[in-house]
Amino acid sequence: MPARHLVQITDLHIDADPNDRKQGRDTLETLARVVAAVGREHPEPELVLATGDLVDDGSPEAYVRLKPILLELGRPVSAIPGNHDLIGLMAELLADETITLASGHNLDPWRIVMLDSTVEGEAHGHLGAERLAALDAELSGECQPHVLVVMHHQPAPIGSPLDEVGLDNASDLYEVLDRHTHVRGLLWGHIHHVHDSTRNGVRLLGTPSTCVQFKSDPTEAFGYTDEPPAFRRLALHDDGRIETEVVWVA
């Protein structure tokens, strides 16, 4: 069976005000360049994962500016909130037949599980008992042979200046994941840089932003790099392998 092809875009940080800039960059313009690059992908992705911080200030105006760009992808989009988002406005202003807030997707023989790791009004992430129980139930039920779990916050600590505002109960998440041997990968955004490691046979993947990137050295103060916008391509193979690459958009 051919691999299932996906793309991840994350940390778009679209502003309500068209004149606002992040480190001198127009975030809508950098996203448009990423979208154009995704459009040149071959094979075309079956699904685009938009993994949070879709807008910068949680404003209706920002979501209104964002939606037409996402629709230009011409592909189904699965979105989850980040700490800058408001899930109610996402449901009202983004969700339609193309952009979904669904909790999961079947791409035989894979299941893509979308986790909301946000805490309203806070920068850090947390997976409460209800969310963890729902995840455990899904992984325990009739499921595809391979699972990719997707969320916004990194399962801290991973050696990033943002570890203080990562997922604050990563051990609870891993307790659930460790009970299910068909989980192949855990994918996130939030950190604005690349991460790729393995834990108990599970691939751990963090992805840069479509706008600006953060320094990744935990010994340095928080700051920015001059790296360009980026997205991640993924090929999910029928034997459970994840083939993936970060694509930098000059």
Q: What is the pLDDT of residues 89-111, one digit of tens each?
A: 999 999 999 999 999 999 999 99
How far is C-alpha 127 from the chain's CA centre?
A: 16
Alpha helices in the chain (DSSP H): 27-39, 60-71, 87-93, 129-140, 170-177
Average pLDDT over the chain, rounded to an integer: 96
The whole-number average pLDDT for the span 135-149 is: 93
The answer to whether residue 34 scores a pLDDT higher than 80 is yes
Answer whether 148's CB lies under 8 Å from 104's CB.
no
Q: What's the domain count of the chain?
A: 1
For the chain, the farthest-separated pair of C-alpha atoms sits apart, in whole angstroms, at 49
The answer to whether residue 78 scores a pLDDT higher than 80 is yes
The identity of residue 71, as a single letter, is L
pTM of the model: 0.97
The answer to whether residue 1 scores a pLDDT higher than 80 is no
pLDDT at 173: 98
Backbone angles phi, psi at 176, to 5 degrees: -70, -50
pLDDT at 219: 79
The answer to whether residue 224 scores a pLDDT higher than 90 is yes
Query: H/E element holding 106?
Result: strand 104-107
The whole-number average pLDDT for the span 110-128 is: 97
Confidence of residue 159 (pLDDT cuts 50, 70, 90): confident
pLDDT at 220: 81
pLDDT at 129: 98
CATH of the domain at 151: 3.60.21.10
- Coil/strand/helix, residue 61: helix
What is the residue range of 194's domain? 4-248
The whole-number average pLDDT for the span 203-211 is: 98
